[in-house]
């Protein structure tokens, strides 16, 4: 009987989230850039392949949704987003709010995207360790995967 009661309490705790895996906490940055402000509203939302929000996102769905909420139309996929009109920017040319593109599989084509927030950091929907919208460092794991950035006129 005691074992049954303990098991019942354990099931209740797990099913109500009391013993849930702790979420990775990321502190937002202070910015006056409207794209960054909008992007940070989604910090911590879970990653889900093919999702465009509002409860979960994949990488290009995140960038697409952030811009759409500001009335900016972008293509849906990271590869198509990387092909929008404009010059390709190097890491040193990035401005806050610019889109950043990566080849995370090192196969020679863009397959990941995010939004540059300054100080060598970007916000993105990660399918990696964080498995959520998070902030990462361009000088870390993504350093040799960065391809280029893109700036759009509405980025003010």
Residue 138's CATH number: 3.90.1720.10
Domain, as residue range, for 103: 29-150
For residue 54, is the peptide bond before it cis, meaning its omega torsion is within 30 degrees of 0? yes
Clarify whether 112 is annotated catalytic: yes
**Is 89 contained in some domain?**
yes
Task: From 66, 59, 61, select the one nearest 152 (Cα to Cα).
Answer: 66
pLDDT at position 29? 79
Clarify whether 124 is annotated catalytic: yes
Average pLDDT of span 16-35: 62
**Is 9 contained in some domain?**
no
**Is 133 contained in some domain?**
yes
Residue that wins the pLDDT comparison between 20 and 32: 32
C-alpha 130/C-alpha 44 separation (Å) is: 9
Task: Report whether pLDDT(140) > 70.
Answer: yes
Of the given ranges (3-7, 29-33, 114-118), which has the lowest mean pLDDT? 3-7
Structural domain total, the chain: 1
**Is 16 contained in some domain?**
no
Contact 133, 62 (CB under 8 A): yes
Task: Report whether pLDDT(104) > 50.
Answer: yes
**Is 12 contained in some domain?**
no
Average pLDDT of span 43-59: 98
Task: Report whether pLDDT(141) > 50.
Answer: yes
Strands 133-137 and 99-102: unpaired
Residue that wins the pLDDT comparison between 85 and 25: 85
Catalytic residue selected from 24, 67, 109, 112: 112
**Is 87 contained in some domain?**
yes
Residue that wins the pLDDT comparison between 9 and 29: 29
Catalytic residue selected from 18, 59, 109, 151: 59
**Is 8 contained in some domain?**
no
Task: From 49, 69, 70, select the one nearest 60 (Cα to Cα).
Answer: 49
Clarify whether 151 is annotated catalytic: no
Of the given ranges (9-23, 46-60, 87-101), which has the lowest mean pLDDT? 9-23
Average pLDDT of span 9-38: 60
DSSP 45-75: PBB-TT-BSSS-B-HHHHHHHHHHHTT----
Contact 128, 36 (CB under 8 A): no
pLDDT at position 30? 84
Residue that wins the pLDDT comparison between 148 and 11: 148
| First and final C-alpha spacing in the chain | 65
């Amino acid at each position: 009987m005691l074992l049954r009661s303990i098991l019942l309490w354990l099931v209740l705790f797990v099913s109500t989230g009391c013993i849930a895996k702790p979420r990775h906490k990321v502190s937002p940055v202070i910015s006056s850039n409207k794209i960054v402000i909008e992007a940070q509203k989604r910090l911590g939302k879970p990653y889900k392949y093919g999702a465009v929000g509002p409860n979960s996102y994949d990488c290009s769905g995140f960038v697409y949704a952030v811009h759409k909420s500001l009335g900016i139309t972008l293509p849906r996929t990271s590869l198509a987003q990387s092909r929008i009109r404009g010059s390709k920017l190097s890491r040193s040319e990035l401005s806050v709010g610019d889109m950043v593109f990566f080849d995370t599989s090192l196969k020679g084509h863009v397959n990941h995207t995010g939004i540059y927030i300054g100080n060598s950091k970007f916000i993105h929907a990660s399918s990696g360790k964080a498995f959520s919208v998070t902030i990462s460092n361009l000088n870390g794991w993504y350093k040799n995967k960065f391809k280029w950035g893109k700036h759009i006129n509405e980025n003010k």
